[in-house]
Amino acid sequence: MKHHFKTAMFGAAIAAFSFAASVQAEPAKPECLAGAKPGGGFDLTCRLAANALLETKQISQPMAVTYMEGGVGAVAYNHVIAKRGKDGNLITAASSGSALLIAQGKFGQYDETAVRWLGALGADYGVLVVAANSPYKTLGELVDAYKADPASFAIAGGGAVGSQDWMKGSLLAKAAGQEPKKMRYVALEGGGAVLTALEGGHVKVGSGDAAEMVKHHVAGKVRILAVMAPERLPGDLAGVPTAKEQGFDIDWPVWRGYYVGKDVSDADYNWWIEAFKKASQTPEFAKEREARGLFEFTLLGKDFEERVKTDVARFKILAKEAGM
């Protein structure tokens, strides 16, 4: 009996120690780094985590959001690796655009293995849009017209050649059996400029994101021909078919997620994953995500890390095909 009692006591001590260790892993000064100016996508991503974790009581004090612009996240990526590789307090915002830039070697000497990927807590999805008075009512009609006369189709996107919007446009070119690098792409400053170009008849197609285009689609200013999602999106876009439904294997989730330094301890890394997991299962979180125009897309830990690696590999192929 004594032996059993000692074993039980020892087990209880181990359990108490494990519990204490997990409690201690809560960051003392939680911080989210946005690798751009305030107001953009990285800021939105940090605010989502900051609000959701505090509201669902995963953190006991507010999370600071700090900014470090440069290279669309490249400066922040290099800073975390060089200066804050062990800092368990810090999470940094990332997106599928980050994976695209890594694939193109635009984050400097570092690749996707230089940090630890935590998770994604939401996504937007790529869309192809035409003007409200466009003769094209389906993606199939647009692809056929593009195939017949690619030179007459200017495609506008809110980013330079090689950006996510450019890549989405290149998927249209590929679907029409055309070379993406011969696509007539018009690089504009953001989604607002794309809408103006479409409405003015300066371009025939716009490449963008669902959250940015949905209100203009509902208002009848533009027509979204396809969403690049695995299934139809809820709400105002429920009536818009996916590209896959229309027979085209085009999928483009714009995920929003986070990473930590490569040398952050397993205890701290796992604490963040558990906090994200608990928060993401609450109605409060769903409201926060919706308020930011994001759709459900939760991938944590190993699953998210695999997704990032898969995306980087896919983007390398797309960039090579595009002659970049």
Tens digit of pLDDT for each residue in 161-216? 888 999 999 999 999 999 888 899 999 888 888 999 999 999 999 999 998 899 99
Q: How far apart are CA 89 and CA 272, in angstroms?
A: 9
Residues 196 and 223 in one domain: yes
Q: Which of 203, 237, 271 is the last residue of a domain?
A: 237
Task: Examine the domain organization and report whether 133 and 38 are in the same domain.
Answer: no
Across 143-182, b (16+ Cβ under 10 Å) vs e yields bebbeeebeebebbbbbebbbbbbbbbbbbbbbbebebee
- Give residue 132's pLDDT: 95
| Residues of the chain below pLDDT 50 | 1-23
Task: Check residue 190 and give its pLDDT.
Answer: 81
Q: Is residue 18 part of a domain?
A: no
Residue 232 and residue 196 share a domain: yes
- The pLDDT, as a whole number, for residue 320 is 86
Instruction: Give yes or no for a contact between 99 and 304, defined as CB atoms under 8 angstroms apart.
Output: no
pLDDT at res. 7: 44
Look up tokens 């849009």; give the residue: 129
The verdict on residue 295 lying in a domain is: yes
State the number of CA atoms in the 13 A half-sphere of 61 facing the CB. 8
- Overall number of domains in the chain: 2
pTM equals: 0.84
Identify the domain containing residue 199 by its residue range.
125-237
Q: What is the CA radius of gyration of the chain?
A: 22
Pairing mode, if any, of strands 90-95 and 253-261? antiparallel
* CATH code for the domain in which residue 259 is found: 3.40.190.150
Helices (H), the chain: 2-24, 41-55, 74-83, 96-103, 139-148, 164-175, 191-199, 210-218, 266-280, 283-291, 302-321
Whether residue 196 contacts residue 247, with contact meaning beta carbons closer than 8 Å, is answered with: no
The dihedral built from the CA positions of residue 221, 226, 227 and 233, taken in this order, carries a sign that is positive
Among 196, 212, 237, residue at a domain's last position: 237
CB 192 within 8 A of CB 161: no
- Name which of 162, 97, 117, 93 is nearest 307 in CA terms: 117
Q: Are residues 36 and 99 in the same domain?
A: yes
pLDDT score of 323: 73
CA–chain centroid gap for 275, Å, is 19
| 55: number of Cβ within 10 Å | 15
